Structure 1
């Protein structure tokens, strides 16, 4: 992962049903966040981890990962079972094109078109 994303990797956290483990954390990120921050972060993603029933709802196969775009970072969530997963925090530069596309989509949605926004813009 470090070879692919380099310094853009902000941190990696593994979690299970009851605990979490910070695998790696960039120094500047470690200085900004305490243990309570990582407890809140992992608790939030534990709640959104898919169940086996959720994974097959759309007939697309099992959920491999999800991407959460925040103002200051991207978080990739890789569920590894019903109560376990890996969180990878990355700089937005890693997904610049995707973040740009998502920004364009949000601009369209915020423009307040009549009817369904996708009908006139996509």
Structure 2
């Protein structure tokens, strides 16, 4: 994804979610770039945590992962955690963008998922 596309996505997400945006990260086969991190989340050790998560997500940008499901047009994944919702937009050749948001942005989805988990 060209840098201009990531800039446009970051601006859109910031405008849409305000202070709920936690971070935006762009990755490629060799590493990743921090596009945005909310200032209150910057702390020692966060870079290693981000790198570990991106290494995990990078696998979803491979063609075999996209072919693993019987649906066309793989758009991305959503992961729900107690503290955050993570959107992953995998692109081609081990490239992609990761957006982390506070859970209030995905209140309905997060609430629905919690209700499901409570029943397990």
Fold shared, TM-score > 0.5 on shorter chain = yes
Cα RMSD of the aligned pairs, angstroms, is: 1.6
Deviation at 1:50, TM superposition (A): 4.2
Structure whose CA Rg is larger: 1
Corresponding residue for residue 19 of structure 1: 31
**Matches of 1:66 and 1:82 in 2, distance apart?**
17
- TM-score, length-scaled by structure 1: 0.80
Check whether the contact 1:65–1:77 (CA below 8 A) recurs between aligned residues: yes
SS of 1:78 mapped into structure 2:
strand
Residues 1:101 and 2:117 are matched in the alignment: no
Matches within 5 A, 1:26-105: 26-31=38-43, 33-47=45-59, 49-105=60-116
Deviation at 1:104, TM superposition (A): 0.6
SS of 1:71 mapped into structure 2:
coil
Corresponding residue for residue 21 of structure 2: 9
Count of residues paired in the alignment: 108
Structure 2 unpaired stretches of 5+: 1-12
CA pair 53-93 structure 1, distance change in 2 beyond 3 A: same
Structure 1 unpaired stretches of 5+: 110-122
